[in-house]
Structure 1
Amino acid sequence: MFEQSSAPNTFVFDMDGTLLNEHHELSPLTMSVLNDLRERGHRLVIATGRHYKDIRAYLTQLGGGIAAITCNGAMIHNAEGELIQRVCLPLAANETLLPLGEAAGVHLNMYTDAEWLVNAPCESMLDAHAESQFFYRQIPLQEMLTTPALKILFYGENANLQQLKTQIENALPLPIHLTFSDEYYLEAMPQHISKDDALKTLAMQLDFSLANSMAFGDGFNDVELFDAVTHPVVMSNASEKLKTLFPHAHHALPHTEDGVARFLFEHVLQAQ
C-alpha cells in the first residue's frame, strides 16, 4: 500500500477497541509488530481516554520509549515518561456536570492527577482495568464537587447519556469539550482538549511532523485525531456512523482479530 518513501513514520494508537483485544490485553502479535515498527525507526504514540497510570503496564510490556496522550489529551507524557502537559477542568464545571449526571441516573467518574474517583461502586467498569490494576476509589459527591479533575466520565445507557449531553449543552456555557468514547461513556474534558490538540502539542514539543502519520481508532473521541493525521484507519468494530464520517479511511480488522497488527504487517512492514 505504501511505497518506502511514502510510508508513515508516526503511528498513533487508541487502546480499548483498537490496540487491546477483547480481554483488554496486548496480544503477542500486537507486541511483536509494534516492536518491529519501533526497531525500524518509526515513532509510536498512544492516544487514549485512559489515565496515564492505567496504561503504564502496557507501555512496560511494549518495552517503553513510547509517548502517551491520556485522558483524551488532558495529559501528555513524552517517550521517557516525563509530563509535558496537564490541563484540568475548571471547578465551576463540576458544579454543573456532576448534579446533572446524578439526576440522569448514570455513574459519575472523574480522573484526577493520580486517581480514578467515583461516587458509587460499579463492578462492571472494573474488568477493563484488571491488567493495569488501576481501580477507582469511592468518595462522596460533595467531595467530588470540590476536586480538580482532568476529565469527568459518565457511564450508563446510551439513551440516558444522549439526554444528559443535550442537558449539558443547554446549561450555562461551560469551557468544556464533550465526546463519546463509546456508546456507554460520555466524557467531559477542558475546552480545546482532544487527542488531536494533544498530538499537535506533542509534535511541536518534540519537533516532529505529522505530514506522514497514521492513526488507528474506533470511537468518536478519535474523530479529531483522524482529521489530524495523513492516514486514518478505522477499526471494523467501530460504529457505522464513525465509518461514514471517514468514507476514504483505511479499514482494519476488528480488535478481536488483532486488526491493528495485521494491518501494519500487511500494508506497512511487508512493503518495506
Structure 2
Amino acid sequence: MEKKVFVFDLDGTLLNSKEEVTLRTINAMKVIFEKGYSIIIASGRMYKSTKMIIEKFFPFLKKIPIISYNGAYVTSHTGEVIFESDIPKNDAIEIIKEIKKENIHVQIYLNDELISDQENTEIKGYAKHSGVNYKIVNDLEEYIKKTHGPTKILAISKVEKLDKLQKMMVSKYSKNLNIVRSFNIYLDFLSKNSSKGAALKKLSKIYDFDISKAYIFGDSENDISMLSLSKNSYAMGNASNHVKDAANHIAPSNNEEGVAIVLKKILSDTHNH
C-alpha cells in the first residue's frame, strides 16, 4: 500500500484568524498521525517560529520534516538541515536599498534571527505574531556586508503599496530571486531556488513518496508552488482566486476548520475503499 503524505501550511491554513488551532483540527491531525501517515509542515515563518507553533499545538509531531522560510530552510524528521539557501550578498543589498527608497519597512533573517535597522510598529507587530525576538542594527546593508547573505528579506506595508513594489521588483529581479507574497501585507524575497514546491520535491526524493498523490493544503501565493504539484491539493476557502486556481480542490476556510473537515472526508473515503 502506498504511504499517504500530508503537507500543511500554517498561517491561514491550520491556524485560524486568531492564530490558534482548534481542538477539532488538532484531533484530526492526531488521527492521521496515529494512522502512521506522513506529515510535513511547510511555512513561510522562521524555523524557530514554525517549530514553536508545532510544539504548541501539535506536541505529538516531534519527528517530522519541516519546510520553513518558504523553502529556503528545510530540515529532516531528525532535525538535520537538508537544504539551506541564502540570498547572494549583492542582490540582498540592492533589494534592501530599493525597498527603503519606497519608504517601506524592511527586515532580514540571518542565522534564524530577525534583524532590522528600523524599530517601528511593523517589526513589533511581526515579532508578536511570530513569537520571536528581534535585533536592531545600525545599518542593514553594512551588517550584510560584514556577515553573509540573508535567508529571507521581508517587506511589510499596506496592500496597495506592496502590490506596486511587487510588480516593480518582479520585473527587475525575478531572474535572480523568488519574490512572493506570504500574506497580503508581507512580501518575501528568497533565493531563486527556494520555494515550498522545490523543497517538497527534495523531500519526496529523500523519503521516496509520490508528490502527485500527496495531500497538500495552503492559502497564500507562497503555497502555489506546492499546490500545483499534486492532484490532491486543497486551497482554503479564504485563499484568493489566484491560489484557488492552482489547487484541484477547495476546502472550507481556516475559520471553519477547513482542514479538519477535509481530513475527516479523506479518512472516511480511505476507510470505504
Q: Which TM-score applies when normalising by structure 2? A: 0.88
Q: 1:125 to 1:189 in 2, by over 3 A?
A: same
Q: Distance in 2 between matches of 1:85 and 1:55?
A: 16
Question: Which of 50, 54, 75 pairs up with 2:49?
Answer: 54
Q: Which residue pairs with 1:188 in the alignment? A: 189
Q: How much has 1:173 moved relative to structure 2?
A: 7.1
Separation of aligned partners in 1, 2:165 and 2:227 = 26
Correspondence for 1:37 among 29, 32, 38: 32
Residue aligned with 2:194, SS: coil
Unaligned runs of 5+ in 2: none
For residue 228 of structure 1, give the secondary structure of its aligned residue in structure 2.
Answer: coil
1:186-205 residue CA offsets vs partner (Å, 9 max, x unmatched): 11110121100000001112
Picking from 11, 20, 23, the partner of 2:18 is 23
SS in 2 for 1:19: coil
Alignment partner, residue 253 of structure 1? 252
2:93/2:141 contact within 8 Å kept: no
TM-score (norm 1): 0.89
Give the count of matched residue pairs: 261
Question: What are the Cα deviations for residues 65-103 of structure 1, in whole angstroms up to 9, with x where unaligned?
Answer: 221111000011112222111111100112210011111
Contact 2:13 2:254 in 1 (8 A): yes
- Is the CA contact (8 Å cut-off) linking 1:26 and 1:58 kept in structure 2? no
Given residue 257 of structure 1, which amino acid in structure 2 is its aligned partner? E
Q: Deviations over 1:103-145 (max 9, x none)?
A: 112111111222011222323323422xxx3232222234444
Aligned counterparts of 1:173 and 1:73: Cα–Cα separation in 2: 17
Please report how far the alpha carbon of residue 16 of structure 1 lies from its aligned counterpart in structure 2 after TM superposition.
0.5
Q: Relative CO higher for 1 or 2, CA cutoff 8 Å, sep ≥ 6?
A: 1
Runs of 5+ unmatched residues, structure 1: none
| Displaced runs of 4 or more, over 4 A | none
Is the CA contact (8 Å cut-off) linking 1:151 and 1:187 kept in structure 2? Answer: yes
